[in-house]
Amino acid sequence: MTAATMRCDIFCAVIDNHGDLGVCWRLARQLADEHGVQVTLWVDDLAAFAAMAPGLDPAHDCQMLGGLTIRRWQGEIDDPEPGDLVIEGFGCRPPSGFLLAMASRRQPPLWINLEYLSAEPWVEDCHGMTSTHPQYGLVQHFWFPGFTPRTGGLLRELRLDAARQALQADAAARVAFWSRLGVTDAAEWSRRISLFAYENPAIADLLDTLVADAASSLVLVPAGRALADIARWAGRAALAPGERVTSGRLAVQVLPFLGHDDYDHLLQACDLNLVRGEDSFVRAQWAARPMLWHIYRQDEDAHLTKLDAFISQVETQARPAAIWAHAMRAWNGAQGRPWAELLTALPALTGSMAIWQRHLLGQSDLASGLMRFYADRVESAPVQSHLGTHTR
């Protein structure tokens, strides 16, 4: 079987922050665009998807979007026809009828559980582990994204870095981008900062620092959960896309919820990026600009272990100034207001993050790794059905 005829099903359940969907959509696009795979993306909330992809009609259960087949997924699927590769995003198990159809194929699909990203050392040992379905005998492979060659890698399109370099080297291209977003004066500010975060009390402290700073700052905020904190800081009941708040040396511009390509350009065009979750976190690293990560909070502060693991990897490879780790922890609830020192260190941190980005560029991207894994496990494997094996 060649990649040109290969079919893939990706299942995604939208939880609450669109990050799972963002990752699954990027993966689907890359498999289709760069590897010739016919992808069906199953999503349980098309209204949430439409917020990210304005060309999508949430009223239609099945439609095409940029070469992908998008289908609504709610409960069982009528007459399922699984592809050659089945990917469940972050443990959202496909319906039982679909699993039965997988097991009934002459050559069962390669079944991947795409896990959450982590920099913790245990990820290397768990990447590639398997689990056998107790009823159908299907083997599931766990795919752990990560920052080392012994993990599943990170999503990175083939032309992403060339596009980044072109935008960052071309002032006219950046002006055109800002104009398209309706921010015609972006180039006039000393620094541009993107802010995409969860609710965070540190936001007000950072904005206060920017108001009093000697250099002017334009903070660009895509619509999202951080707007409530910014509105409260500004003494407003709410803020909407297109509105701007100014104080001292600071202006805060509210942007609409951006599609993937425009959000990538925003990160590449800013001098500091404040990001959250997983999808925007990874994209900020490809932008090769200083960034702070607002990690998703977990019970018993388990997220702080993940945060420290990431900080440790960056420090080992790129040796950023110590203020970066201090600011990362403060952005995630630790004591301290290191924002003025962070702003002073931005030029040096830009160099450090460029080193980190080059380190990541030296590794295989996630989609290409999946395709090699598929070729190794399926294309050379003997044809057999797993239905009825009932192994554990």
Q: What is the mean pLDDT of residues 113-125?
A: 96
The CATH label, of 3.40.50, 3.30.70, 2.40.50, 2.60.40, for the domain at 3-154+364-379 is: 3.40.50
Q: Tell me the percentage of the chain whose pLDDT exceeds 70.
A: 95
Q: Tell me the percentage of the chain whose pLDDT exceeds 90.
A: 87
The residues annotated with a catalytic role in the active site are 20, 278
pLDDT in tens, 94-117: 999 999 999 999 999 999 999 999
pLDDT for 389 beyond 60: no
pLDDT of residue 380: 61
Task: List the domain boundaries for the chain.
Answer: 3-154+364-379, 160-361
Q: How far apart are CA 135 and CA 158, in angstroms?
A: 39
pLDDT for 384 beyond 80: no
What backbone torsions phi and psi does residue 371 show, to the nearest 5 degrees? -65, -40
User: 16: pLDDT confidence band, cut at 50, 70 and 90?
Assistant: low
- Three-state secondary structure along the chain? CCHHHCEEEEEECCCCCCHHHHHHHHHHHHHHHHHCCEEEEEECCHHHHHHHCCCCCCCCCEEEECCEEEEECCCCCCCCCCCCEEEEECCCCCCHHHHHHHHHCCCCCEEEEECCCCCCCHHHHHCCCEEECCCCCCEEEEECCCCCCCCCCECCCCCHHHHHHHHHHCHHHHHHHHHHCCCCCHHHCCEEEEECCCCCCHHHHHHHHHHHCCCCEEEEEECCCCHHHHHHHHCCCCCCCCCEEEECCEEEEEECCCCHHHHHHHHHHCCEEEEECCHHHHHHHHCCCCEEEECCCCHHHHHHHHHHHHHHHHHHHHCCCHHHHHHHHHHCCCCCCCHHHHHHCHHHHHHHHHHHHHHHHCCCEHHHHHHHHHHHHHHCCCCCCCCCCCCC
pLDDT in tens, 282-293: 999 999 999 999
* Superfamily per CATH, domain 160-361: Glycogen Phosphorylase B; (3.40.50.2000)
- pTM (2 d.p.): 0.93
pLDDT in tens, 19-72: 789 999 999 999 999 999 999 999 999 999 998 888 999 999 999 999 999 999
Same fold, 3-154+364-379 and 160-361: yes
How high does pLDDT run on average in the chain?
Answer: 93
pLDDT of residue 382: 52
